[in-house]
Amino acid sequence: METALHSVFTASGPEAVEVLHLISIFVALCSAIWLAVALALFFALGRRRHARPSPLSLDTQAERRAQATVTGLTVLTALCLIGLTAVSYATQAAITADRAPSVRVRVTGHQFWWEAQYRETKPSEWFTTANEIVVPVGEHVLLELEASDVIHSLWIPSLMGKQDLIPGQQNVLRITAAREGVYRGQCAEFCGLQHAHMALLVRALSHEEYTQWRARQLEPASEAARQNEAGERVYISRGCGMCHTIKGTTSGGRTGPDLTHVGSRETVAAGLLPRSRGTLAAWIADPQGLKPGTQMPRITLSSDELQDLSAYLEALK
Ligand SMILES: [Cu+2]
């Protein structure tokens, strides 16, 4: 797997660049002001006052100078605040500008994973994946954010600032990946026990690769997996389908991630483990041990069942 970018300073899309510019302006101006105040303070501390002949006499000239300085600095402070407000509004307007997206994904935050439903075309062509969003490079993507249980927050630092996912409300986040690559995102609002293990990968592919990926996602469970009848039997008979969906089988659960193409994803359990047959088996054998508090129960399986099941899942490309 390529190393995923995860930093505000590797801004990789126009939205992230806007945010980085804004931060830079704030940091530069505030640092300059802090430095000026610190210098003025040191200067004042080091300066000695000349003793006056009569301590109570008023030095009108000095008074007038002080008044002018205070008035000038007050006006300057107000100007700085107004200026920062203006640039911050301008950034806000630029990153939330209503543009026609070429991909629309409904991202639902769950304890403790991300559901991504692609909704760009007619409902018969919708498909659902988890913990990974694939986007065409350079194209505008609209993420519609929802939550199923508690408040989450989506933060993909290299692509955009944070946005909350709130039950009963839809927020949106607009991203455009300027370069091919993998961008890491993270839940940025404490949402429960496994909040730290709630990562999301955004993979930006060329338009052709994206189209191919999309076509594969629309297909039901792969032929290779379907031929592993023993594995599919364990999946169905052990009740996995109550919570999971594998298109092409009788399962249609919505509580857990859609597993139709779980073998094509990079990670297992929202970035917890890199995906392989071994980690899939480890996860199924003891989800509560690996991710205490996760919403998937431990289901006791024989070692043969576990082998067949993990081979089956791995083949779901
Ligand atoms: Cu969360």
CATH of the domain at 139: 2.60.40.420
The type of residue at 232 is E
Q: What is the pLDDT of residue 124?
A: 86
Instruction: For residue 143, tell me if it sits in a domain.
Output: yes
Report pLDDT for 50: 73
Residue 60 confidence (pLDDT): 85
Among 191, 217, 243, the domain-final residue is: 217
Any domain includes 115: yes
Tell me, yes or no, whether 271 lies in a domain: yes
Q: If you measure from the C-alpha of residue 130 to the centroid of ligand 1, how many angstroms do you get, rounded to a whole number?
A: 14
How far, rounded to the nearest angstrom, does the alpha carbon of residue 264 sit from its chain's CA centroid? 20
Do 260 and 295 lie in one domain? The reply is yes
pLDDT computed for residue 13 by the predictor: 94
Handedness of CA 258, 259, 263, 268 (dihedral sign): positive
Q: Do residues 196 and 120 both lie within one domain?
A: yes
- Portion of the chain with pLDDT greater than 70, in percent: 99
Residue 54, pLDDT > 70, answer yes
For residue 214, give the amino acid letter.
R
244 and 141 part of one domain: no
CA of 189 to the centre of ligand 1 (A): 6
* pLDDT confidence bin for 283, thresholds 50/70/90: very high
Other CB atoms within 10 Å distance of the CB of residue 50: 4
Pairwise pLDDT comparison (120 vs 129), residue with the higher score: 129
Rounded to the nearest integer, the mean pLDDT of the chain is 94
Question: Is 302 inside a domain boundary?
Answer: yes
pLDDT score at 52: 72
Instruction: Determine the distance separating the centroid of ligand 1 and the alpha carbon of 191, expressed in angstroms.
Output: 5
Å from CA of 114 to ligand 1 middle: 8
- Cα(237) to ligand 1 centroid in Å equals 31
Coil/strand/helix, residue 24: helix
pLDDT at 1 over 60: no
Cis peptide before 112 (omega within 30 of 0): yes
| Residue 200 counted as domain residue | yes
- Residues 155 and 196 occupy one common structural domain: yes
Say if residue 204 is in the same domain as residue 227. no
Check pLDDT > 80 for residue 105.
yes
pTM of the model: 0.91
Segment (H or E) for 86 = helix 60-96
Q: Is 104 helix (H, G, I), strand (E, B) or coil?
A: strand
Q: Is the pLDDT of residue 140 over 70?
A: yes
For ligand 1, the distance from its centroid to the CA atom of residue 151, given in whole angstroms, is 7
Q: Could you tell me if 117 and 206 lie in one domain?
A: yes
Instruction: Find the helix or strand (DSSP H, E) in which 182 lies.
Output: strand 181-187
- Total of domains in the chain: 2
Q: Ligand 1 centre and the CA of 192: distance in Å? A: 7
Of the three residues 168, 195, 217, the one that is the final residue of a domain is 217
Rounded to the nearest whole angstrom, what is the distance from the C-alpha of residue 181 to the centroid of ligand 1? 24
Residue 233, pLDDT above cutoff 70:
yes
Q: Distance from the CA of 123 to the center of ligand 1, in angstroms?
A: 27
CA–centroid distance, residue 85 to ligand 1 (Å): 30
Residues 174, 112 share a domain: yes
Statement to judge: residues 242 and 295 lie in one domain: yes
Residues 210 and 107 in one domain: yes
Q: Is residue 2 part of a domain?
A: no
User: What pLDDT band is residue 55 in, cutting at 50, 70 and 90?
Assistant: confident
Quick check: is 228 in a domain?
A: yes
- Give residue 170 CA to ligand 1 midpoint distance, Å: 16
Asked which of 176, 195, 217 is the last residue of a domain, the reply is 217
The rounded Å distance from CA 46 to ligand 1 centre is 53
Residue 186 sits in the same domain as residue 240: no
Whole-number pLDDT of residue 27? 97
Q: Based on the number of CB atoms within 10 Å of its own CB, is 187 exposed (0-12), middle (13-18) or buried (19 or more)?
A: buried
What integer pLDDT is reported at residue 18 of this predicted model?
95
120 and 212, same domain (yes or no): yes
- Residues of the domain holding 174: 103-217
- Give domain status of residue 130, yes or no: yes
